[in-house]
Amino acid sequence: MQLIGLLVLVLVALLLMAVVAVLMKPAASSQSLYRLNGPLFSPAERSFLGVLMQAVPDEAIVMGKVRVADVLTPVKGLERSKWQTAFNKISAKHFDYVVCDRSTLKVLSVVELNDKSHKAKKRIERDAFLREACSSAGLRLLEFEAKASYSVAEVRNQLAAEVGKL
C-alpha cells in the first residue's frame, strides 16, 4: 500500500514538472523579436549611389551604410575609459558610402550625402564630429548636397579634385 502511494506521489510530481516545463517554454519562433527593415537606401541615396558607382574609377568599389567604427578606431594608448568613450561616439554612426580599393578593400575615402535633415542642430553637430574624426585619422570625407539629379562627370570631377587618382 505504501508503494502505491509512493508511485502516485512520483507520478503527480512528474506531471507537475511537465506542466511547469510547458508553461516555462520560450515563445514560439513565429513570435520573433526582429523584422526586416525596408530598403537599405532611401530613393535619394540609391540614386546618388548609382551615380557614385559610375564616377569612381574601375580600380575602386563603393560600399554603402558602413559603420564608422568599422572604418575608424580610437588610437592606441588611451586610458580604457577614454578609449571606450571615443569608441561609443562612433559605434552607432555610419558613413553613407565608403570608396575602397577594389583589390585590397583599403578605404580610400568616405562620402556623405547631405539632405535637408543635415540642417538640424543634432545633424550639424554629428557632421562636424565626423569631419574632425576623419581629419584626425587622415581620411578624406567628401560631402555632396542631395539634389534631384546628378551628373556623373561632376561627381567624378569632385572626387578627383578631393581625392586625386583613386
pTM of the model: 0.76
Stretch among 35-44, 71-80, 131-140, 154-163 having the lowest mean pLDDT = 154-163
Alpha-carbon distance 73 to 160, whole Å?
A: 26
Helices 43-55, 152-163: crossing angle, 10 deg rounding: 70
User: What pLDDT, on a 0 to 100 scale, did the predictor assign at position 7?
Assistant: 60
* 107-114 and 94-101 beta bridge pairing: antiparallel
| Ramachandran bin of 82, using left for φ above 0, alpha for ψ from -120 to 50, beta for the remaining angles | alpha
Percent of the chain with pLDDT over 90: 69
Residue 141 is predicted with a pLDDT of 96
Report whether 17 contacts 121 (CB < 8 A). Answer: no
Query: Over pLDDT 70: what percentage of the chain?
Result: 80
Helix axes 121-137, 80-91, angle to 10 degrees: 120
pLDDT of 28 above 60: no
What pLDDT is recorded for position 119? Answer: 79
Q: Give the residue, 83 or 159, on which the prediction is more confident.
A: 83
Q: What is the average pLDDT value for the chain, to the nearest integer?
A: 87
Q: b/e for 91-126, b at 16 or more Cβ within 10 A?
A: eeebbbbbbbeeeeeebbbbbbbeeeebeeeeeeee
> 89 or 12, which is more confident?
89
d(CA 123, CA 127): 6
**Positive or negative torsion for Cα 82, 87, 92, 95:** positive
Query: Of 97, 93, 86, whose CA–CA distance to 68 is shortest?
Result: 93
Span 51-61, average pLDDT: 95
pLDDT in tens, 60-86: 999 999 999 999 999 999 999 999 999
**What is the C-alpha to C-alpha distance for residues 142 and 149, in angstroms, rounded to an integer?**
18
